[in-house]
Amino acid sequence: MNAVYYISSVVAVVATVAAVTGLNAVHSLLYLIVSFLAVALIFFTLGAPVIAALEVIIYAGAIIVLFIFVVMILNLGDVAVEQEKRWTVGKMWIGPAFLALVLMAELVYVLFQQTVHHLPGAGPIQPQDLGATLFGPYMLGVELASMVLLAGLVGAYHLGRRRQPDETAQERQEPVDAGARR
C-alpha cells in the first residue's frame, strides 16, 4: 500500500502541474480530474474511504462538470488557446514561482524540524465514527454548511441571470446620474 501512496502522489503532482500550466481549458480540466482521482486514491490509502468516494463524486464529478459546462457555454475555441499563449509568456512564471518555492522551502524546513518523525498512522477511521462526529459535536457546522450552500445557490442564480438589455443599460446609466446629482 505504501507504493500506491507514492505512485499516486507523483501522479497527483504531475497532473496538477499540467492542469495549472495548460493553455487549453478543457485539457487542463481533464488533467485536474486525474489529479483529483489520484488524491482520492491517497485518501483511500490513508484510511478515509468515505472521503475518497466523496472526492470522486463531488470534486471530480460535480465541480469539474460545472467548470466544463461554463467552458461549453462560453464556447472557447482555438482563439482562446492563442490568447492564452499571449497572456502567459514563460518569464511571467519566474517571479511568482520563485516566491512560492521560497514559501515551500520554509514549509519543508519547519515540517522536518519536528522531533516526531516516522510515526505511522493510527488506523483507518470507520464511517460510523465519521457520522457520529459529524452529527454530534459538529452539528452546528452542518447547519452552517447548509446556510453556505443556500447562499451559494441564491448568489449563483442572481449572478448567472441573463439581464434584459434595457435593464443593463439602465444600470450603466444610474451611477453617472448619481455622480451628476452630487
Other Cβ atoms closer than 10 A to 39: 22
111 makes contact with other proteins (CB under 8 A): yes
Q: Which of 87, 169, 170, 173 binds other proteins (CB under 8 A)?
A: 87
The correct pick among 104, 167, 169, 173 for binding other proteins (CB under 8 A) is: 104
At 82, which amino acid appears?
E
- Shortest Å, Cβ 69 to other proteins: 8
Give the burial class of 154: count Cβ atoms within 10 A of its Cβ; 0-12 exposed, 13-18 middle, 19 or more buried: exposed
**What is the rounded CA–CA span in Å between residue 7 and residue 26?**
25
Least Å distance between CB 38 and other proteins? 10
Binding of residue 33 to other proteins (CB under 8 A): no
With CA atoms as reference, report the closest residue to 1 among 123, 128, 129.
123
* Minimum CB distance to other proteins smaller for 1 or for 181: 1
Q: Give the whole-angstrom CA distance, residue 54 versus residue 42.
A: 13
In the complex, what is the shortest distance from the CB of residue 181 to other proteins, in angstroms, rounded to a whole number?
Answer: 17
For other proteins, which residue of 77, 78, 79, 121 counts as binding (CB under 8 A)? 121
